[in-house]
Amino acid sequence: MSLAGKSVIVTGAGSGIGASIAERAARSGARLCVAGRREAPLKELAARLGTPVEVVAVDVAARDAGERLVAAAMDRFGRVDAVVNNAGLARFGKLEESAAEDFDAMLTVNVRAPAELIRCALPQLRAHQGAVVNVSSVGGVLSMPARSAYGASKAALNSLTRSLARELAPDVRINAVLPGPVDTPLWHEAGLTENETDALRTSLLSATPMGRFGDGDEVARLVCFLIDPEQSGWITGALMPVDGGRTA
């Protein structure tokens, strides 16, 4: 129960990696404020977790999303100890076939929204020597043909993480995890045809030394380690791959 008593905000917790993070954090004793656009999966998540959960249906791209999330956590738990910026948007495709609107949307959800939530949570994070974990991607450090805009948005999130680590130390630690491929709904919502998705999955598998996709809980364990000051109190500004060796 290493996160006992801590109040943790997790965005994009209704599915995939975010749901695994919420489950793992709850098992470690955290109290959770979970966010996503759809309320139903968040309520289902809350019902199966054995810990207090505040559900906030919000689009993180909204200008007031950060304020709303911090206010909800404060109303329910009276403090914020950690923020996990996990909500993310992936739109894959070659540049000449991609829409500028998709580029804007990825920069907003994957970069601006995490920065805004951190800004809103800062007084609380400072008060409690808190931590931030940004869920980035190996796409932020690898070359990503046909996924360049997604990769660029994650590279920007990596840069934000490293700069803020220096800006906010020693009060607040901030790190990023860089997952390789994990089987989640993201793959079916990235704008590819079924054949293109299958081809991409096959090529990613062959590029991953461990020879398999990751599991959401394998990412969640690293996130919970990085939230917990007992375990990672001297780690800040790190970009940590959890990728089956894909970036090795």
Instruction: Out of 9, 14, 72, 161, name the contact with ligand NAP by CB under 6 A.
Output: 14
Range 149-188, binding ligand NAP (CB under 6 A): 179, 181-182, 184-186
Residue type, 170: P
Q: Are strands 131-135 and 31-36 parallel, antiparallel or unpaired?
A: unpaired
Active site residues: 150
Instruction: Out of 66, 88, 130, 241, name the contact with ligand NAP by CB under 6 A.
Output: 88
Instruction: Out of 3, 9, 10, 18, name the contact with ligand NAP by CB under 6 A.
Output: 18
> How many CB atoms are located within 10 Å of the residue 166 CB?
10
Smallest separation, CB 188 to ligand NAP (Å): 8
> How many CB atoms are located within 10 Å of the residue 39 CB?
13
Q: Is 208 an interacting residue with respect to ligand NAP (CB under 6 A)?
A: no
Instruction: Out of 10, 56, 109, 164, name the contact with ligand NAP by CB under 6 A.
Output: 109
Q: Collect contacts of 195-204 with beta carbons under 8 A, ≥24 apart.
A: 196/92, 200/92, 204/180, 204/246
Nearest to ligand NAP of 78, 185 (CB atom): 185
Nearest to ligand NAP of 19, 229 (CB atom): 19
Q: 174 pairs with which residues across the strands? A: 132
Smallest separation, CB 210 to ligand NAP (Å): 14
Reported as type and span, the H/E element at residue 236 is none
Binding segment for ligand NAP among 13-21, 68-76, 123-131, 224-232 (CB under 6 A)? 13-21
Residues with Cβ within 8 Å of residue 32, at least 6 apart in sequence: 7, 8, 9, 10, 13, 22, 25, 26, 49, 51, 52, 53, 54
The 47-86 contact track toward ligand NAP, x by CB under 6 A, reads ------------xxx------------------------x
* Half-sphere exposure at residue 61, Cβ-oriented, CA atoms within 13 angstroms: 11
d(CA 41, CA 189): 17
Site residues for ligand NAP per CB under 6 A: 11-12, 14-18, 35-38, 59-61, 86-90, 109, 135, 137, 179, 181-182, 184-186
